[in-house]
Amino acid sequence: MRPLDWAVLISWLVLLVSFGLWRSRGSNTVSQFLLAGKTMPWYAMGLSIMATQAGAITFISTPGQGYVDGMRFVQVYFGLPIAMVILSATVVPIFHRARVYTAYEYLEQRFDAKTRALVSVLFLIERGLSAGVALAAPGIVLSAILHLPFGWTSILMGCLVILFTTLGGIKAITWADVPQMTVILSALILALGIAIHLLPPGVSFLDAAKLAGAAGKLNAVVPQFDWKDRYNLWSGVIGGTFLALAYFGTDQSQVQRYLTGKSIGQSRLSLLFNAMAKVPMQFLILFIGAMVFVFFLFDKPPLLFHPAELARVQQSAQYPSIESRYNDAFERRRAAAIEMKDGNDSAVQRFRSAQKDFDAARADALRLTKEGDTNYIFLTFVMRYLPAGIVGLVLAVIFTAAMSSSAGEINSLATVTVIDIYRRHLRPDESDHHYLAASRVATVFWGAFATIFATFGANFGALIEAVNQVGSLFYGGLLGVFVLAFFAKKVGGTAAFYGVIAGELAIFATARFTSIKFLWYNVIGALVVVTVGLILSRFGRGPRAHATGL
Amino acid sequence: MPEDEYIKDEPPPFLGRWPRVYALVLCELALLILAFYLFTIHFAPAPQ
C-alpha cells in the first residue's frame, strides 16, 4: 500500500462514519433509533438493502468466483425479482399496517407468544453467528493482503461498527449506505475498465470475451436441471425465489430496512429498485472476474493467490514438479490464446488442453493447502495492477462494506433482543428512554460478540464456512411460518409452532443425509412447515384466538 | 410523521398502478435471462 492509498482509505472511513452520524442526529427515541422514525425515502432504503446484502466477502469473492467457476453464480439471483414482487404485493402492506418494530412481533399478533419467541431465538442464533462472519471473513483476507496481524483489521472494523451503530442507530447505517453503495458501483466499473485497459495491445474487448467464452467462463445460464448442481436456471429461479422470500421477508436485518419507509409505497419502491438492479450488478461483478481471467492469460498469475498458502506449498517436496507443469501449461495457453485472438480457430483445442493442464497443476497445489484461494484472486489483481489511490479506494470500499453489513445485522439483533425478548418477556412496562438505553446496550453486546467471534475467526477457517452454511438451515423454517401467518387463516399458534420445529428437523435431515444442495433447503423447509401446520390445524382445537393483518 | 401516511397505500410514481410496476420488473427479469442465455450460447466453447 502506497501513502496515497492509506490516505484514501482513512479519509473514506472518516467521511462515511461522519456522514452517517450527521444524518442520524436527533435519534433519541426507540422509534428513531430502531426505525428511523419511519421517515426514510425509497432510494436510501433501496441502496441500504443492497449494501447490507452485498457484504465485503461478496465484493471480494464474487469476482474470484467468476475467475474460477465462470458466471453461472449469477443464476442464484434470478429468483430475487420474483420474490421482491411477491413481498411488495403482500408482506410490505401487512407489516406496515401491523405497526411492528420486528417481523416476529407480527407473529404474536397472528399466532401466539411462543411462536414469536421460537422464531426470534432462531433468528438470533442464525444472525448472531453471521454477524461475526461478516467481520471475520474480510478481516482474514485483508490481513493476508495488507500483511497486518489478523485481529487488527477485525477489531478496527468492530470498534467503528459499535461506535457508529450505538450512536446513530438505523438512520446512520441507512444514510451511510447511500454514498457507500454509490462508491461500490463506481469502484466496480472502474475495476472492469482497468482490467480491459490492461489487456495486451491488440486484444480487443470482443477478443477478451471470446477467450473467456472458450474457457467456459461466460456460462451465465445453465438450462439443464440437476438437483446436485448448485447453480442452474431452475435452482436459481425456484430455489432463489424461496431464498429471497425468506431473506427479505423474514430476516429482521432486511425487514427492518423497509419498515423505516415513510409509507407503503416508499417501502415497495425500495424493494423493486433492488429487484431491477441486483441481477445486472451481480452479472457485472462476475464479468469482472472473467476479464481478470483473460488478463491473467497474458500476464502470469501466481500459482496460488493466497500468499501464506503459496509460501507453505513452496516448502513442499512436490513444489518443483507442480511449478514446472504450471509454467509449461501457462506458456502453451498464452501461445494458443494469441493465435485464437489472431483468428486461428484451430488453436482452440490447444488452448483447452493447456487450460486443463493449468487447472490440474493448480488443483495439485491447492490439495497441499488448508483453504482455497478464490477470495484472494480479485484483491491480488487490485493490489498488483491498479494505480495508487484506486487501490486505497477499493480497500476502503471493502472495509466499509464489511462494516455496513455488520452494522445492519447488529442493529437488527439488538432490535429483536430488546423488542421480542427484553420488552416482551423481561421488562414490559418501562419508559421509552429505558428501552432506548437497552437498545444501545444490546447493540454494544452484539457488536462485541461479533468482534470477538471475528477475532478468533482466523483459527477456524472451516468454521466460517460451516457458519455460512448454518444460515441456510434456518431460512426455510422462518419462511414457512410467515407463509402460514399470511395465507393460512385457520392455522393457530400451536400448529405453527410445531410446524416450525418439523420444518427445521426436515432441513437438518436433508443437509445431513442427502446430497441436495443448499438452495433447495428453503423450499423443503418452507413446504414442511406449511404442510405440518395445515395438518395439525385440522386436528387441533380450532383457529387462533386473535389475528390481524389480512 | 403522521401514522396515516405510514399505512397509506398510495399509487406508484409512474405507470399508475402497482401491478403494472410488478409486470415491468418481471419483464425485465425475463429479458435479462433471455439476454444472458443468448450471451452464454454465443460465447460457449464449441463441442470438442
Q: What was the pLDDT predicted at A38?
A: 85
Tell me the sheet residues that pair with A261. A40
B46: distance to nearest CA of chain A, Å?
8
| Cα dist from A206 to A129, A135, A334, B42, whole Å | 44, 38, 17, 12
The amino acid occupying position A444 is: V
Terminal Cα distance for chain B, rounded: 65
**% of residues, chain A, pLDDT over 70:** 94
Q: What was the pLDDT predicted at A54?
A: 72
Q: How far apart are CA A450 and CA A131, in angstroms?
A: 6
Encode B27-45: b = buried (16+ Cβ within 10 Å), e = exposed. Answer: ebbeebbeebeebbeebeb
pLDDT band at A545 (very low <50, low <70, confident <90, very high): very low
Query: Is A467's pLDDT higher than 70?
Result: no
How many of the other CB atoms lie within 10 Å of CB of A335? 14
Of B18, B32, B44, the CB nearest to A268: B18
- Cβ neighbours of A213 in B, within 8 Å: 42-45
> Which residue from A330, A351, A358, A335 is spatially nearest to A210, judged by alpha carbons?
A351
pLDDT digits over A78-104, tens only? 999 999 999 999 999 999 988 888 999
How many of the other CB atoms lie within 10 Å of CB of A107? 30
A352–B12 CB contact, under 8 Å: no
Q: What was the pLDDT predicted at A541?
A: 55
DSSP single-letter state for residue A425: I
Q: What was the pLDDT predicted at A550?
A: 36
Query: Is A464's pLDDT higher than 60?
Result: no
Nearest CA in chain B to A236: B33
* pTM greater than the 0.80 cutoff: yes
Q: What was the pLDDT predicted at B3?
A: 54
Q: How far apart are CA A232 and CA A520, in angstroms?
A: 12
> Which residue from A374, A196, A191, A376 is spatially nearest to A294, judged by alpha carbons?
A196
- Cβ neighbours of A93 in B, within 8 Å: 7, 9
Of B9, B45, B48, the CB nearest to A264: B9
The amino acid occupying position A126 is: E
pLDDT digits over A364-375, tens only? 998 888 777 888
The amino acid occupying position A449 is: F
3-class DSSP string for A102-167 = CHHHHHHHHCCHHHHHHHHHHHHHHHHHHHHHHHHHHHHHHHHHHCCCHHHHHHHHHHHHHHHHHH
User: Torsion angle of alpha carbons A481, A486, A487, A493, nearest 10°?
Assistant: 50
**Best of A77, A263, A274 to mutate (most B CBs within 10 Å, chain B):** A263
Hey, is A198 helix, strand or coil?
Answer: coil
- Is residue A279 within 8 A of residue B32, CB to CB? The reply is yes
Residue pointed to by grid coordinates 419508559: A431
**Best of A45, A75, A85 to mutate (most B CBs within 10 Å, chain B):** A85
Positive or negative: CA dihedral A421, A250, A408, A150 = positive
A234, three cell numbers: 431452475
Q: What was the pLDDT predicted at B47?
A: 64
Query: Is A243's pLDDT higher than 80?
Result: yes
Query: What angle in degrees, to the nearest 10, is found between the helix axes of A264-298 and A80-89?
Result: 170
Of B7, B12, B26, the CB nearest to A96: B7
Query: Is A458's pLDDT higher than 70?
Result: no
pLDDT digits over A425-457, tens only? 898 888 999 999 999 999 999 999 988 888 876
Weakest mean pLDDT among A40-49, A128-137, A152-161: A128-137
Q: What was the pLDDT predicted at A18?
A: 85
- Cβ neighbours of B12 in A, within 8 Å: 265, 268-269
- Is residue A229 within 8 A of residue A367, CB to CB? The reply is no
pLDDT band at A191 (very low <50, low <70, confident <90, very high): confident
Q: How far apart are CA A155 and CA A515, in angstroms?
A: 37
How many of the other CB atoms lie within 10 Å of CB of A145? 22
3-class DSSP string for A284-348 = HHHHHHHHHHHHHHHCCCCCCCCHHHHHHHHCCCCHHHHHHHHHHHHHHHHHHHHHHHCCCCCHH
Q: How far apart are CA A468 and CA B14, in angstroms?
A: 39
Q: What was the pLDDT predicted at A62?
A: 85
**φ, ψ at A388 (rounded to 5°):** -55, 140
Q: What was the pLDDT predicted at B5?
A: 62
**Mean pLDDT score across all residues of chain A:** 86
Query: Is A361's pLDDT higher than 60?
Result: yes
B8–A264 CB contact, under 8 Å: yes
Q: What was the pLDDT predicted at A324?
A: 92
Weakest mean pLDDT among A130-144, A341-355, A486-500, A533-547: A533-547
Residues of B at the A interface, defined by Cβ within 8 angstroms: 1, 3, 5-13, 18, 21-22, 25-26, 28-29, 32-33, 36-37, 39-40, 42-46, 48
A126, three cell numbers: 442464525
Of B10, B26, B29, the CB nearest to A265: B10
Of A96, A212, A220, the CB nearest to B6: A96
B42–A220 CB contact, under 8 Å: no
B38: distance to nearest CA of chain A, Å?
9
How many of the other CB atoms lie within 10 Å of CB of A382? 23
A125, three cell numbers: 442464533
pLDDT digits over B1-47, tens only? 455 666 677 889 889 899 999 999 999 999 999 999 999 999 887 66
Weakest mean pLDDT among A116-130, A132-146, A176-190, A217-231: A132-146
A79: distance to nearest CA of chain B, Å?
9
